[in-house]
Structure 1
Amino acid sequence: MKKSNLLFLFLLVTNTVLAQLNNPPALNAITIQDLKKDLYAFADAHFNGRSAGTLDELKASMWLADQYRAIGLKPAGDDGTYFQYFTLWRNHIADNASVVINNTTFSLWKDVAVAQMANISLNAPIVYLGNALDIDTSKIDVKGKVIAIEANAKGINLNVSLPTWRYNRYVFTKYGLPLIKKGAIAIIFIADDVAENAWEDAAENFKRGTYDIDGGVNENVTTTVPVLWFHASAKALLQQNTATIKANLIVAKYPYPSVNVVGKIDGTDAKLKAEYLLYSGHTDAHGIRNEIKNDSIYYGADDNGSVDVAMLANARAFIKKPAKRSVIFVIHGAEERGLLGSRYFSSHPTVPIKNIVAVLNGDMIGRNTTDSAAILGMKPPHRNSLDLVTMALDANNEGPKFKLDDTWDDVSHIEGWYFRSDHLPYARLGIPAIMYTSLLHPDYHTPQDNAESINYPKLKKMADWMYRTGWKVANATNRPATDKGFKLER
Structure 2
Amino acid sequence: MQNKILFWAFLIVSSQLFAQSLPPALNQIKESDLKSDLEALAGVNFKGRSAGTLDELKAAMWLGEKYRAIGLKPAGDDGTYFQFFTLWRNQISEQTSIELNNKKLTLWQDVSIAQMANTALNGIITYLGNAAEIDTNSLNVKGKIVAIEANPKGINLNVSLPTWRYSRYIYTKYGADLVKRGAIAIIFIADDTAENGWKDANENFKRGNYDIDGGANVNLTTTVPVLWLHKGSKKDLEGNSANLKANIVVSKYPYPSVNIIGKIEGTDANLKSEYLLYSGHTDAHGVRNEIKGDSICYGADDNGSVNVAMLSNARAFVKNPAKRSVLFVIHGAEERGLLGSRYYSALPTVPIGNIVAVLNGDMIGRNHIDSATVLGALPPHRNSEELINMTLEANKEGPNFKLDYTWDDVKHIEGWYFRSDHLPYARLGIPSLMYTTLLHPDYHTPQDNVENINFPKLKKMADWMYRTGWKVANAKQRPATDKNFKLER
User: Structure 1 length as normaliser, TM-score?
Assistant: 0.97
Q: Which residue of 2 aligns with 1:376?
A: 375
**Which runs of structure 2 are paired with 1:86-105 in the superposition (5 Å)?**
86-105=85-104
Q: Distance in 2 between matches of 1:21 and 1:487?
A: 35
- Deviation of 1:283 after TM superposition, in Å, equals 0.1
Q: Distance in 1 between matches of 2:40 and 2:194?
A: 37
Q: Which residue of 2 aligns with 1:349?
A: 348
Q: Which residue of 1 aligns with 2:166?
A: 167
- Deviation of 1:408 after TM superposition, in Å, equals 0.2
Q: Distance in 1 between matches of 2:479 and 2:7?
A: 39
- Deviation of 1:11 after TM superposition, in Å, equals 8.2
Q: Which residue of 1 aligns with 2:339?
A: 340
Q: How many residues align?
A: 487
Q: Which residue of 1 aligns with 2:50?
A: 51
Q: Relative to 1, partners in 2 of residues 1:476 and 1:13: Cα closer, same or farther, differing over 3 Å?
A: closer
Q: Distance in 2 between matches of 1:420 and 1:227?
A: 25
Q: Which residue of 1 aligns with 2:236?
A: 237
Q: Which residue of 1 aligns with 2:206?
A: 207
5+ residue gaps in structure 1? none
Tell me the C-alpha RMSD between the 2 structures: 1.7
**Which runs of structure 2 are paired with 1:293-312 in the superposition (5 Å)?**
293-312=292-311
Q: Which residue of 1 aligns with 2:436?
A: 437
Q: Distance in 2 between matches of 1:70 and 1:136?
A: 63
User: Structure 2 length as normaliser, TM-score?
Assistant: 0.97
- Deviation of 1:21 after TM superposition, in Å, equals 3.7
- Deviation of 1:442 after TM superposition, in Å, equals 0.4
Q: Distance in 1 between matches of 2:165 and 2:12?
A: 54
Q: Which residue of 2 aligns with 1:322?
A: 321
Q: Which residue of 2 aligns with 1:36?
A: 35
Q: Which residue of 1 aligns with 2:486?
A: 487
Task: Output one character per residue of 1:72-110: Cα deviation in whole Å (capped at 9) or x when no partner.
Answer: 000000000000000000001101101101121111111
Q: Which residue of 2 aligns with 1:280?
A: 279
Q: Distance in 2 between matches of 1:15 and 1:164?
A: 54
Q: Distance in 1 between matches of 2:313 and 2:139?
A: 61
Q: Distance in 1 between matches of 2:121 and 2:144?
A: 11
Contact kept in structure 1, 2:102 and 2:245, CA below 8 Å = no
Q: Distance in 1 between matches of 2:19 and 2:323?
A: 20
Task: Output one character per residue of 1:296-338: Cα deviation in whole Å (capped at 9) or x when no partner.
Answer: 0000000000000000000000000000000010000000000
Q: Give the 3-state SS of the residue equivalent to 1:272 in structure 2.
A: coil
- Deviation of 1:468 after TM superposition, in Å, equals 0.2
Q: Give the 3-state SS of the residue equivalent to 1:430 in structure 2.
A: coil
Deviates most, 13-22 or 41-50: 13-22
Q: Which residue of 1 aligns with 2:405?
A: 406
Q: Distance in 1 between matches of 2:162 and 2:205?
A: 15
Q: Which residue of 2 aligns with 1:113?
A: 112
Q: Which residue of 1 aligns with 2:151?
A: 152
- Deviation of 1:135 after TM superposition, in Å, equals 1.2
Q: Which residue of 2 aligns with 1:179?
A: 178
Q: Give the 3-state SS of the residue equivalent to 1:302 in structure 2.
A: helix
Contact kept in structure 1, 2:102 and 2:243, CA below 8 Å = no
Task: Output one character per residue of 1:43-85: Cα deviation in whole Å (capped at 9) or x when no partner.
Answer: 0111010000000000000000000000000000000000000
Task: Output one character per residue of 1:367-407: Cα deviation in whole Å (capped at 9) or x when no partner.
Answer: 00111110000000000001100000000010000000000
Q: Distance in 2 between matches of 1:295 and 1:457?
A: 26
What letter corresponds to residue 118 of structure 1 in structure 2? Answer: A
Q: Distance in 1 between matches of 2:390 and 2:181?
A: 51
Q: Give the 3-state SS of the residue equivalent to 1:166 in structure 2.
A: helix
Contact kept in structure 1, 2:84 and 2:258, CA below 8 Å = yes
- Deviation of 1:15 after TM superposition, in Å, equals 6.0
